[in-house]
Amino acid sequence: MTLFVTELCKGSLRTTAIKVITKERSIMIQSQLKTILDARTISNDEFATMTGIDTHTIVKLISGRAKSISFNHLNRITRTLNIDLNDLFLVTPDLELEVTLQTIDEATKLFSGTLRFIDHDQHCVTALPLTGQYQQSGPLFTFTINDAYDEALEADGIAERLTDLQPFPVMTATKQHLLDLLSQYPEQQAWFEPEGMPLSPNPTDTELERYLQVGNLIARTQYEKLHRLLEPLVMNFLAALYHDFPKFLGNPQDITVPWGVPDTFHIFNFVLAESPTSLANNGITKRQEQVRQQHAFPVSYTSLDVISYFSND
């Protein structure tokens, strides 16, 4: 992050030198060993016994701390797991996200800036406008960032490029639970069809229970995916705001938790609002319904998450 210079212009907080550069550059070669072992419920010790590789070496390979790997170990791992090298390693683009926030107007609650997606492999930079609005209710801030449809990508420009920043597909506990449930009840795969899975006219208690269970897991899986997708954008956006604390976020002594103790704790909801074109392509044409859907599942972070995110860099 660079140093910051701010000035107050006619009631609008104008930030003139904010440049928060994320270090979300994807690793060129990403090992999938941990994901594979987790999916097969194979422990580190078990895998060491199966391959004949020292446990200490296995732990380094699984954790990603190993700086190199021998051909002998590669042969043992791929043969033991019966996989190809393409399954063991994922080659990802060398991408970087740069967030520049230029203005925040405390009267209109509008903000603007620029997002730059930098492709180091192709030596090109794609600059997209960053615009939106925020609302405040006590320690809760809700930021809505506008996305715009990209004809070349046939998708929303920001969301599509944020997807490219993800280094590898993550198998979360919720997603694994959902897959396990669907393997037990394959008839419920119909939930993933566009029309969903309708209940019978007189559903049994068991049917209702599974209906709600699968539905809740699907919703949680979608939320987890959105959380990971927005994290690079959100965290560096918040870093640009936090340098103005307490002017922009308010005096911490004026913000108290319900039992009356002064605290600097804040909650941030983020919504990446889909473009009207993208929503219309999904069959959503009424503006009221668009707004409702866009704000139905905001991604939430706290001020503690921001500290944790950057302290791990």
Q: Could you read off the pLDDT of 105-160 as tens digits, one per residue?
A: 888 999 999 998 888 777 788 999 999 999 988 888 999 999 999 999 899 999 99
Q: What's the gap between Cα 281 and its chain centre?
A: 23
Q: Which two tokens stand for residue 222?
A: 């979608």
pLDDT digits (tens, 9 = 90+) for 259-276: 555 556 788 999 998 898
Categorize the per-residue pLDDT at 27 as very low, low, confident or very high, splitting at 50, 70 and 90: very low
pLDDT band at 19 (very low <50, low <70, confident <90, very high): very low
Q: Give the confidence band of 295 by pLDDT, cuts at 50, 70, 90.
A: confident
Share of the chain above pLDDT 90, in %: 16
The residue to which tokens 């694994």 are assigned:
176
Higher pLDDT: 116 or 253? It is 116
pLDDT of residue 204: 78
CA 26, distance to chain mean position in Å, is: 14
The per-residue pLDDT for 133 is 93
Q: Sketch out the chain's domains with CATH numbers.
A: 29-91 (1.10.260), 108-170+221-311 (no CATH)
Computed over every residue of the chain, the mean pLDDT equals 75
pLDDT by residue (tens digit) across 30-80? Answer: 788 888 888 888 998 999 999 999 888 888 888 777 878 888 998 999 999
Torsion, Cα of 183, 184, 186, 192 (10° steps): -60
Q: What is the H or E stretch that residue 111 is in?
A: strand 110-119
The SS3 call for residue 73 is helix
E-strand ranges in the chain read: 6-9, 12-15, 20-21, 29-31, 89-91, 95-105, 110-119, 124-137, 140-146, 149-150, 155-156, 267-273, 299-302
Which of 29-38, 148-157, 170-179, 292-301 has the weakest average pLDDT? 170-179
pLDDT of residue 190: 59
| pLDDT of amino acid 245 | 56
Residue identified by tokens 């956006």 is 237
Determine the pLDDT at residue 260: 52
Predicted confidence band of residue 284 (pLDDT cuts 50, 70, 90):
confident
- pTM score, two decimals? 0.60
Q: Which residues pair with 140 in a beta bridge?
A: 137, 267
| Least confident piece of the model among 5-19, 100-114, 117-131, 161-175 | 5-19
Between CA 185 and CA 189 the distance in angstroms is: 8
Residue 270: its pLDDT value, please? 93
From CA 4, how far away is CA 281, in angstroms rounded?
41
Q: Is the pLDDT of residue 304 over 60?
A: yes
CB proximity list for 204: less than 8 A, separation 6 or greater? none
CA separation, residue 198 to residues 150, 203, 207, 247 (Å): 34, 10, 11, 51
pLDDT digits (tens, 9 = 90+) for 80-114: 999 888 788 776 667 788 888 888 888 899 999 99
pLDDT of 7 over the 50 cut: no
| Average pLDDT rounded to a whole number, residues 238-243 | 76
pLDDT at site 201 = 74
Strand intervals (E) in 155-307: 155-156, 267-273, 299-302
Q: Amino acid identity, residue 53?
A: I
Q: In which element (H, E) is residue 298 found?
A: none
pLDDT for 22 beyond 50: no
For residues 261 and 251, give the distance between their C-alpha atoms in angstroms, rounded to a whole number.
14
More confident residue, 87 or 221: 87
Measured between alpha carbons, how far is 108 from 241 in angstroms, rounded to an integer?
Answer: 16
